[in-house]
Amino acid sequence: MNIKEAKELLDLSLEELSNLALEKKKKISKDFVFFTHNFHINYSNECLALCPICAFGKPLGQGYTLSLEDIENKLRDLKEKRKNILEIHIVGSLNPELPYRYYISLLELAKKYFPEATLKAFTATEIAYLAGQEKKSIKEVLSDFKVAGLEVLPGGGAEILKDELRKILCPKKVDTKTYLEVHRTAHNLGIKSNITMLFGHIETWEDILEHLSIVNNLYNETGGFLVFIPLLFHPKNTKFEKRVKKAFPSKVYRVIALSRLLLDIPHIKAYWIMLTPKIAQTSLLFGADDLDGCVYEEKITKFAKRKSPDYLDEENIKRLILDVGFTPVLRDGKFNIKKIYKES
C-alpha cells in the first residue's frame, strides 16, 4: 500500500468512496454478506491494565469473574436453547488471580459443549500477558491453547498500532511490535486471526492509514487474517468521556470504505453491536461484507452504554442484508459457508 496514493482517497466524496469500495467488494465476495450464530463469553472484567479507553475493565475485587462452574452452566443452558451456534468468542481482562489452567479449562469446556463451533479466544494482549505470567514464550502459550481447542484469535486490542498513541490510549497493553508478533506466531502455528482498529478518539487520518498499512503488510506476509474490523470508539464511561465526542456516521462510512480499498484482507466487518444495526447496514454500501452475528450475550460494549440491542435474531440480520440488495450467507468462525439464503 502506497501511503501517498492512499492519502488521495481522503479527498473523495462519500459517494465516490462507496462506488469504488462496492466495486472491489463485489470482485471479492460477490453480493454476499456474511453473518453467524455466535455466543460471547466475557469471563472477567477485573483487570490490571485499566486502559483509559475502556469502560469494561474494573480494578481487582471491584468487577466480576466467572468461575468455571458458572461458564459450564452457561454453556449447558445455551446448548439446550440453541443448537445452531457456529462460533464461540471468548475474551476478558488481564486478571492475575486466574491460573493458567483456568484458560485451558475454559477452551476445553467450550469445545466439549460445542465441538462443531469455531473456537475464537483471547486477544493478543491476553496471550502476551499470560506468557509473561507463566514465563512461557508466546509460541508455547498459543501451542497449549491450540491443543485445548483454540482455532482463531479475535482481533481486539489492536486499537491504533502506533506506540505514541498506545501510550495514551492503553499504556499497559502490549506495544505494536508484540501485538503483531502474537498474530504472526499464531498464523505460523496454523491459527487464523481477526484484526481490529479502534477509531473515533484522538487519532488522525494519517494514523488510520498507517494502521491499515501495518495490518496489510502482515497479511501479505502470512495470509493469516480472516477479517478486518473497524471499531467505533464509545467514549461514555471511559477516561475520554469529557475529551472526545462519538464520531459521526459519515466517519464510520469513510473508514469502512478506506479499509475495503486499502486492504487485501478479504472480509471487512460492520460490527453492529458498536455501530447500531442501521449504521452497520449502511456500511454494507461502503464495502463491508460481514455483519458479525446474532451475538448472544456481549458485555464489553454494554459498559460503554451502547445503543444497540442485546442480540439480533437470524430473521433481523437477514432483513438488514436483503433490504440493501445483498444475499445473506451463514458462515462459521473461519468464514466457511454454511448456507446461502435467496430472497423468497
Chain residues that interact with ligand SF4, rule: CB under 6 A? 47, 49-51, 54, 56-57, 93-94, 125, 170, 173
Q: How far, in Å, CA of 300 to CA of 15, rounded?
A: 33
CB closer to ligand SF4, 35 vs 233: 233
Closer to ligand SF4 at the Cβ: 150 or 170?
170
Contact 261, 21 (CB under 8 A): yes
* In the complex, least distance from residue 51 CB atom to ligand SF4, rounded to whole angstroms: 3
| Alpha carbon distances (Å) from 193 to 184, 258, 289, 317 | 9, 21, 17, 24
CB of 23 to ligand SF4, least distance (A): 36
| Cβ proximity to ligand SF4, 113 vs 233, nearer residue | 233
Grid cell listed for 37 = 450464530
Q: Quote the least distance from Cβ 45 to ligand SF4, whole Å.
A: 6
CB of 305 to ligand SF4, least distance (A): 15
Q: How far apart are CA 8 and CA 301, in angstroms?
A: 33
Give the cell for residue 250. 459519515
Q: Contact 229/280 with Cβ under 8 angstroms?
A: no
In the complex, minimum distance from the CB of residue 56 to ligand SF4, in angstroms, rounded to a whole number: 5
User: With contact defined as beta carbons under 8 Å apart, do 226 and 152 qualify?
Assistant: yes
What radius of gyration do the chain's Cα atoms show?
19
Indicate the residue type of 329: V
Give least dist CB 48 to ligand SF4, A: 7
For residues 93 and 282, which CB has a smaller minimum distance to ligand SF4 in the complex?
A: 93
Q: Which is nearer to ligand SF4, 123 or 281 (CB)?
A: 123
3-state helix, strand, coil in the chain (%, to 5): 45, 15, 40
The residue (of 91 and 191) whose beta carbon lies closer to ligand SF4 is 91
